[in-house]
Amino acid sequence: MPAPTPWPRRRLLRGLAASAGALALRPALAGAADPGETILEEARSRFNHVRIGQYGSLRTMYFVGDNGVQYIESRIDVSRPQSLDLDYSRTMMAGFLLQPAPKRVLMLGLGGGQISNYLYRHFPDLEIDAVDIDPEVVRLAKKYFEVPDGDPRYRCHVADGRLFIEQAPAGTTWDMLILDAFRGVFVPYHLKTAEFYQACLDRLSPGGVVVANLHNATKMYPHDRNTLAAVFPQRYAFVSESGNQTTFVASRDPQRSGAYALRRNARAIADRFDFDLLGLAARHYLRTDWELEAEVLHDDFKPADLEAATKRHNKTCLRGCRYGM
């Protein structure tokens, strides 16, 4: 088979992202507060400045940067709370095309709970562990975004995602690990390395998958792709409807699933979703849209120093952050 052809827009898009500081938190709008939006609450923690706003039936959790720009962290339409309002969140359902019947899901990065709430409502037998490092984010998610409080099937944990995975009791596994842990406007470095992805792989049940939210127009994207490829035997990429986000699904399976298998799984569980799952399967792509020579990311600390390293990497990294490279 000939080598894939690189995506011709890659250098242009990466240049634009770098010139803007590569600040996108989600594939969504960023800017100052809308004067027509009602601010329901604001909170500050040592991790984030969080703002909850409402415009009509749309309720949004924002992370506000030091420069006053706010970034959409999560959004629900309160008139349709059981739907996925953001494009990227629908694309993140691609994990079900490879693992259509998970029993236990671990979500790193609760935010407003849009994804975990959706799974909770649409899969009544599913157990969910949702982890977020910021207690204020968890509190506001329960107050404004209908995240259940006290349901044994939907457990919220205030913890660093890497520590939560590595310190879980021996034998603990999940069928799906969803990686969406943004610290302010960036993903902490210790959640992007080969050692972290190996810890995720070690916690997968047979047939389990890891689902990662990647921004394909940022300078980190090539490193993310090569680092994930260094750990997981099978890898699948799905582009969002808007095109600026890639959902990356990875597994330990020795055999690759083809397009027919993806569509078969989509048809089997299509009635569990309120959007076009077959259309999502069609957005699976094989082209090389990253630089193959990009460096694989590794921990910049010894295993015994993990806890100290998480504190260091969880500090704000808005401008000039090179993720230790």
Tens place of pLDDT per residue across the chain (325 aa)? 333 333 333 332 333 233 222 233 443 344 555 678 999 999 999 888 999 999 999 999 999 987 888 888 889 999 988 889 889 999 999 999 999 999 999 999 999 999 999 999 999 999 999 999 999 999 999 999 999 999 999 999 999 999 999 999 999 999 999 999 976 567 899 999 999 999 999 999 999 999 999 999 889 999 999 999 999 999 999 999 999 899 999 999 999 999 999 999 999 999 999 999 999 999 999 999 999 999 999 999 999 999 999 999 988 554 555 554 4
Domain boundaries, the chain: 10-77, 87-285
Tell me the CA distances in angstroms from 217 to 35, 69, 87, 279, one per residue in order: 30, 19, 16, 23
Structure tokens, 161: 């995602």
Q: Tell me, what's the pLDDT at 235?
A: 97
Structure tokens, 256: 């690759």
Task: Report how far residue 86's alpha carbon sits from residue 309's, in angstroms, rounded to the nearest whole number.
Answer: 32
Topology of domain 87-285 in CATH is Rossmann fold (3.40.50)
Q: Tell me, what's the pLDDT at 290?
A: 96
Structure tokens, 246: 């890639």
Q: Tell me, what's the pLDDT at 185?
A: 61
Among residues 184, 240, 244, 228, the alpha carbon closest in space to that of 23 is found at 184
Q: Tell me, what's the pLDDT at 270?
A: 97
With beta carbons less than 8 A apart as the criterion, state whether 300 and 324 touch: yes
Phi/psi at 208 (5° precision) = -75, 160
- Is the Cα torsion angle 201, 204, 209, 214 positive or negative in sign? negative
Q: Structure pTM? A: 0.87
Tell me the CA distances in angstroms from 73 to 26, 61, 168, 192, 255, one per residue in order: 7, 5, 27, 19, 35
Among residues 217, 216, 212, the alpha carbon closest in space to that of 235 is found at 212
Q: Kindly report the number of other CB atoms within 10 A of residue 44's CB atom.
A: 11
Q: Tell me, what's the pLDDT at 325?
A: 47
Cβ-based burial of 100 (10 A; exposed 0-12, middle 13-18, buried ≥19): middle
Q: Tell me, what's the pLDDT at 189?
A: 93
Task: Report how far residue 70's alpha carbon sits from residue 135's, in angstroms, rounded to the nearest whole number.
Answer: 19
Q: Tell me, what's the pLDDT at 2?
A: 35
Q: How many CA atoms within 13 Å lie on the side-chain side of 1?
A: 5
Q: Tell me, what's the pLDDT at 323?
A: 53
Q: Tell me, what's the pLDDT at 6?
A: 38
Task: Report how far residue 245's alpha carbon sits from residue 92's, in angstroms, rounded to the nearest whole number.
Answer: 10
DSSP label at 238? E
- Is the Cα torsion angle 149, 151, 153, 155 positive or negative in sign? positive
Bridge pairing between strands 204-215 and 174-179: parallel
Task: Report how far residue 106's alpha carbon sits from residue 116's, in angstroms, rounded to the nearest whole number.
Answer: 9
Among residues 50, 32, 33, the alpha carbon closest in space to that of 140 is found at 50
With beta carbons less than 8 A apart as the criterion, state whether 147 and 119 touch: no
First to last CA, the chain: 34
Non-local (6+) Cβ contacts of 101 within 8 A are: 175, 269
